[in-house]
Amino acid sequence: MFAFYGAHVQLHLDPSVEPNKLGTMHSTLSMERLRPAAVRILTLFLAVIVTGCPAGAQKSRILARADRYFSAGEYDKAKIEYLNLLRLDHQNVRAFQQLGFIWFEQGAPLRAIPFLVKVRELAPQNIPARAKLALSFMGLGESAEGSAIHSPTRPGER
């Protein structure tokens, strides 16, 4: 009988082997078999930690970098980082919102609209994004659509 990680196991492989020697012999055989398996498990564990777990951390780093660029007025770099974030997280409201704001600030309301519409779909109560969306439509001469987007009620629901 031997203990391995709290589990007690008694094996009788050969009835001609004395019980004392069986325990010693089996422990040696188990450790020889366990080493390659332990190395594989450890390698797999490290691979999961290195590649799998930091997805959330990677998103946070990208978002922080994008926000820094946005705050500094470096909109082209911010756009790249927000787009990188959307590759990892297809539903990230902040990335869609900031991309819409960037396009709006750069005088391209037509490019801002798809991003701001997506924000409206994902977060209907996001007032700043709805306001920019309304202003984008108004900038294109679509004042009826713009006021309908900004108002809390939809057309025909008055």
Q: Which of 132, 109, 105, 110 is nearest to 120 (CA)?
A: 132
pLDDT digits (tens, 9 = 90+) for 52-67: 546 889 999 999 999 9
11 lies in a domain?
A: no
* DSSP per-residue string spanning 135-153: HHHHHTT-HHHHHHHHSSS
Mean pLDDT of 46-51: 52
Cα dist from 121 to 71, 73, 78, 116, 129, whole Å: 25, 27, 23, 9, 11
Judge whether residue 17 has pLDDT over 70. no
CB contact at 8 A, 9 and 1? yes
10 lies in a domain?
A: no
pLDDT digits (tens, 9 = 90+) for 97-110: 999 999 999 999 99
Domain shared by 69 and 122, yes or no: yes
Domain shared by 111 and 36, yes or no: no
76 lies in a domain?
A: yes
7 lies in a domain?
A: no
Domain shared by 42 and 65, yes or no: no
Domain shared by 34 and 103, yes or no: no
Q: Cα torsion at 125, 104, 68, 62 (round to 10°)?
A: 70
| C-alpha–C-alpha distance, residues 61 and 141, integer Å | 39
Q: Which of 138, 139, 132 is nearest to 117 (CA)?
A: 132
- State the chain's mean pLDDT as an integer: 77
Confidence at residue 158, expressed as pLDDT on a 0 to 100 scale: 41
Confidence at residue 157, expressed as pLDDT on a 0 to 100 scale: 45
pLDDT digits (tens, 9 = 90+) for 114-147: 999 999 999 999 999 999 999 999 988 765 455 5
Q: Please report, for the domain that includes residue 90, its CATH number.
A: 1.25.40.10
Q: Is the pTM of this model over 0.95?
A: no
Judge whether residue 3 has pLDDT over 70. no
Number of domains composing the chain: 2
**Domain around 31:** 16-52
139 lies in a domain?
A: yes
Confidence at residue 56, expressed as pLDDT on a 0 to 100 scale: 86
Phi and psi at 122, nearest 5°, equal -80, -35
Judge whether residue 27 has pLDDT over 60. no
CB contact at 8 A, 109 and 139? yes
Domain shared by 102 and 131, yes or no: yes
Domain shared by 68 and 113, yes or no: yes
157 lies in a domain?
A: no
